[in-house]
Amino acid sequence: MKTLFREAVPEDEPVAHDAFHRLSEETRHNRFMAAVNEIPEDILDSLRRPEPERALFLACFRLDDAGREAEPVGAARLVHAGDGTSGDFGIVLADAWQRRGIGARMVRLLIDNARARGLAKLRGHVLATNDGMLGLARFLGFEVADSAEEGSRVKVVTKTLSAP
């Protein structure tokens, strides 16, 4: 099955809403660390008003036989942290697409983009119960530690980036 990775654009908002409502409660909880029924407003804002100099919003789609976008698969976001040397990331995949290598490809794209932006570190916050994401982070060379703010309930995954 072919997939396409591209930067998300404001016109993707209806697709994002539809894809969000097809996520299981567990997937939503794992991504947003709370029970949520709508896409958080800060994420919608980054889709509606892209800031390419400080953020990257990726979308992944399954392609049909004609090469057209047929189904949203997932999304990932990289945002420069306020310190100018690191970035924070988040990723979500449709339930049917988890554990198929798509998440690893998305995170690698974020790593490459962070390096190209000159960032020295990439980090994400992951629920301690999200074994899939923690396993992916370890597989990709991220260090995993308890969150200073939230203790053992939330893990911080951090990767030191080398030059491109």
Supply the range of the domain harboring residue 124: 3-160
Q: Total domain count for the chain?
A: 1
In this predicted structure, the answer to whether residue 162 has a pLDDT above a threshold of 90 is: no
Dist. CA 37–CA 23, nearest whole Å = 10
Phi-psi map region of 33: left, alpha, beta (phi>0 left; psi -120 to 50 alpha): left
In this predicted structure, the answer to whether residue 57 has a pLDDT above a threshold of 60 is: yes
pLDDT tens string 99-144: 999 999 999 999 999 999 999 999 999 999 999 999 999 999 999 9
Tokens of 48: 């509606």
Classify residue 97 by its DSSP letter.
G
CB 93 within 8 A of CB 107: no
pLDDT tens string 63-98: 999 999 999 999 999 999 878 799 999 999 999 999
**Dihedral sign for Cα atoms in the order 148, 77, 106, 161:** negative
Percentage, residues of the chain above pLDDT 70: 99
What CATH code is carried by the domain that includes residue 88?
3.40.630.30
User: What's the predicted TM-score (pTM) here?
Assistant: 0.92
Nearest C-alpha neighbor of 56 from the set 94, 87, 31, 86: 87
